Amino acid sequence: MIPRQRWLSDFSKNVFRLSAGSMVGQALTLLMAPLLTRLFTPADMGILSVYLSVASLFLVFSTGKYELAVPLPRDDESALGLASLALRVAVVVSAFVLLGSVLYGMFFGGWAQNPELDTWIWFMSISVFSLSATQVCIHILLRRKQFVPLSRVRVVEAFFMNVLPALIYKIGHVALLVATLAAHFLSFTYLYAAASRHVGRLRSKIRAATVGSVARAYADFPRNNILQSFTDMFQVNGLVFLIPAVTGNLALAGLYGLAIRILQAPLWIVVNPIAQVFYSEAARHESGSADTRRLLGKALSRTALLTLPVPVVLLAAGPQLFSFVFGEEWHDAGMIARIVSPWLYLDYLRTTAVRAVIIRRRQHTLLRFSLVANILLAGAFLAGTPLGLGFHGSLVAVSVSQSAMALVILAWALSLKGHSGSDESRDEG
């Protein structure tokens, strides 16, 4: 057992290392947002939101979710076998995405009734592979407790996503595409170089037999986590698809996308660093141990305290704040942020709690909760029109339903004592 004072000190230091880069990256995002919202229209931002949402859809299964298991094995050979397996799946999925893009261009071009979006689809495979490989590298570095590269990559990503579009804005919405592709690819190459430095000598130990054995030992990860990740993706990005489908207004998707982008700033600055350090530390303990439960409680309390100002400020003055910072045409984005901020706040806490569920191997139960949450989300939004609630009223119904489900999941995650699978399964192969 690690002495408590030293353990908490290491936890705080590692959270700070991860948060530092995220803070710089989000500072760039927030500083550049007022300029970008004046250089690009809500419709342009809507195209970007749809593109990123489609990429997130493929990211759900593009690695088989084997990368989530990389921090768990006790031996490095099994961990690298999982990483190798995840990368192989990513290559295959990206190849199919490229084939799908070609077939779409040949037979279905114009189906989306948006020529700009049709152009972006050709580049989807680059984003899918880069994002997939990035996730694998992140979990290798988490296992090795190398938090500095994970911090620095947030700055790289933020620079290309936010500064580059402003430098090349004269080429129109394509500037957003170029910046997105550059951010995705360069983030991957940087993390791949960092991960290679720490596992280079071990790479020769990866054998086909190792990859096959870890695939069998961790077969529950794709089985449970792919559908789980889809439900998580749909929970936030699903409305990006539903809004234009129901309203026929791509600009509304852009307004929603900006609201979510601002609300996700605490996710990168506070929530993800705390959740990642918790996962890295807790994976070394027995899943039901006092150390794990105490660390989870500490992680959740810090997340709750540090992110509380977000919903408080947005509930008080969201529309006025967005109008002042981003311009009058983004007033409705502030209204959207006000409505969904309680839901996103509770989702910050759920993000950390889910890491404990993965360690305890209880994803199958989490999946049931998440499917119910998704059904409620889609039902609440789609029911808004026939019930005469309007767009904002439908979002209120969504926010209330998702807040309730987040509370249910939190209460359940905190009640868990251990995982249902055998400890031996973590050491097979």
Residue 27 has pLDDT above 70, yes or no: yes
List, for residues 270-284, the tens digit of each pLDDT value.
Answer: 888 888 888 877 776
Q: Which residue has the higher pLDDT, 364 or 13?
A: 364
Euclidean distance between CA atoms 317 and 338, whole angstroms: 8
Closest CA to 59 of 275, 225, 229: 229
List, for residues 103-155, the tens digit of each pLDDT value.
Answer: 877 776 654 556 666 778 889 999 999 999 999 999 999 888 888 898 899 89
The total number of structural domains that make up the chain? 1
Phi, psi of 361 (to 5 degrees): 55, 45
DSSP for residue 72? S
Which residue carries 């394509």 as its tokens?
Answer: 174
Q: Which of 30-39, 394-403, 410-419 has the lowest mean pLDDT?
A: 410-419
Mean of all residue pLDDT scores within the chain: 83
Residue 184 has pLDDT above 90, yes or no: yes
| Percentage with pLDDT > 90 across the chain | 34
Residue type for 401, please? S
Instruction: List, in order, residues 6 or more apart from 211 with CB less than 8 Å away.
Output: 81, 84, 85, 88
List, for residues 195-221, the tens digit of each pLDDT value.
Answer: 888 776 555 555 665 788 888 888 888
Structure token digits, residue 162: 């936010």
Calculate the alpha carbon distances from 67 to 221, 242, 266, 386 in Å.
9, 30, 24, 43
List, for residues 185-194, the tens digit of each pLDDT value.
Answer: 999 999 999 9
Residue 43 has pLDDT above 70, yes or no: yes
Dihedral of CA atoms 105, 107, 112, 114 in degrees, nearest 10, equals 50
Task: Determine whether 249 is exposed, middle or buried from the number of CB atoms within 10 Å of its CB (0-12, 13-18, 19+).
Answer: middle
Structural domain of 140: 4-427
pLDDT at 9: 57
**Greatest extent of the chain over all pairs of C-alpha atoms, in Å:** 63
Euclidean distance between CA atoms 166 and 327, whole angstroms: 16
pLDDT at 394: 92
Per the CB < 8 A criterion, the answer to whether 255 and 332 are in contact is yes
Per the CB < 8 A criterion, the answer to whether 191 and 149 are in contact is yes
Identify the band that residue 24 occupies on the pLDDT scale cut at 50, 70 and 90.
confident
This prediction has a pTM of 0.70
Per the CB < 8 A criterion, the answer to whether 27 and 268 are in contact is no
Instruction: List, in order, residues 6 or more apart from 221 with CB less than 8 Å away.
Output: 64, 65, 66, 68, 69, 363
Distance of CA 161 to the CA centre of its chain: 16
What's the average model confidence in pLDDT over 29-51? 87
Per the CB < 8 A criterion, the answer to whether 206 and 81 are in contact is yes
DSSP string, 333-381: HHHHHHHHHHHHHHHHHHHHHHHHHHHTT-HHHHHHHHHHHHHHHHHHH
Structure token digits, residue 40: 């690009």
Q: Looking at the chain, how many residues does it have?
A: 429
Euclidean distance between CA atoms 426 and 429, whole angstroms: 9
Identify the band that residue 372 occupies on the pLDDT scale cut at 50, 70 and 90.
very high
Euclidean distance between CA atoms 422 and 410, whole angstroms: 24
278: helix, strand or coil: helix
Per the CB < 8 A criterion, the answer to whether 19 and 268 are in contact is no
List, for residues 85-109, the tens digit of each pLDDT value.
Answer: 999 999 999 999 999 888 877 776 6
pLDDT at 262: 86
Q: Which residue has the higher pLDDT, 268 or 204?
A: 268
Closest CA to 343 of 427, 239, 206: 239
Closest CA to 363 of 230, 210, 264, 212: 230
Residue 233 has pLDDT above 60, yes or no: yes
